[in-house]
Amino acid sequence: MRLLCLILIIGAVLGYNFMQKNDTQALQITELTDRVSALEEQQKEMLTALEDAAKAQEETRAAAYNASQKTETDNETGSSDAAASGEGVYKDGTYTGEAQGFGGTIQVQVTLSGDEITDIQVTSAPGEDAAYLSQGEGVISSIISAQSTDVDTVSGATFSSTGIINAVVDALGKAENA
């Protein structure tokens, strides 16, 4: 009789431990599932943001390319009003432009003389990471050399360099002869 009671007690303890272990595992699985769902949601948000940024970059490149093609066509055919009147495409002076970078608004100052871009300075970029901004500023020499905003972005600082290019496009738009 005592042996039977002992076996029943041992069985009850083992059964209780088994059920506790299953409950703990079920709780851990639920927590992991919640974490995976949260990570998947973050991944979707990041992917959407990257797709939006890539789309904006492509639109900006297309606009800059179209603007440079129009300028080249106008210069070649002499059909532009500014060219016909002996004026340049841009008014001489210093113009400010701004556009969205990786961490916020980037503001540039573009100096024009005789229809040429002579200087570009980043005047404000409070939200940009200093390392990426510094790397992205390498696009400035490309713009000045090409006398166009239709240049490649800087690898490793794509958003910052795109922001600088778009800010220059904004400044050039303000400098156009009407």
pLDDT tens per residue, range 118-154: 999 999 999 898 888 999 999 999 999 999 999 999 9
How much is the pLDDT for 45?
Answer: 87
**22-26, 52-56, 161-165: which has the highest mean pLDDT?**
161-165
How much is the pLDDT for 5?
Answer: 86
pLDDT confidence bin for 84, thresholds 50/70/90: very low
CA atoms within 13 A on the CB side of 53: 18
Residues β-bridged to residue 95: 110
How much is the pLDDT for 87?
Answer: 63
How much is the pLDDT for 169?
Answer: 94
Q: What percent of the chain has pLDDT over 70?
A: 88
**More confident call, 133 vs 59:** 133
Give per-residue burial for 20-33: e unless 16+ CB within 10 Å, then b: eeeeeeeeeeeeee
Please give the structure tokens belonging to residue 136: 């992205």
Q: Please tell me the distance from the alpha carbon of residue 88 to that of residue 114, in angstroms, as a whole number.
A: 7
Residues β-bridged to residue 121: 109
pLDDT in tens, 10-31: 988 998 888 898 889 989 999 9
Mean pLDDT of 56-69: 74
φ, ψ at 91 (rounded to 5°) = -80, 140
State the first-to-last Cα distance of the chain, in angstroms, to the nearest integer. 108
pTM (two decimals): 0.54
pLDDT for 6 beyond 80: yes
Residues β-bridged to residue 103: none
Instruction: Give me the chain's average pLDDT, please.
Output: 85
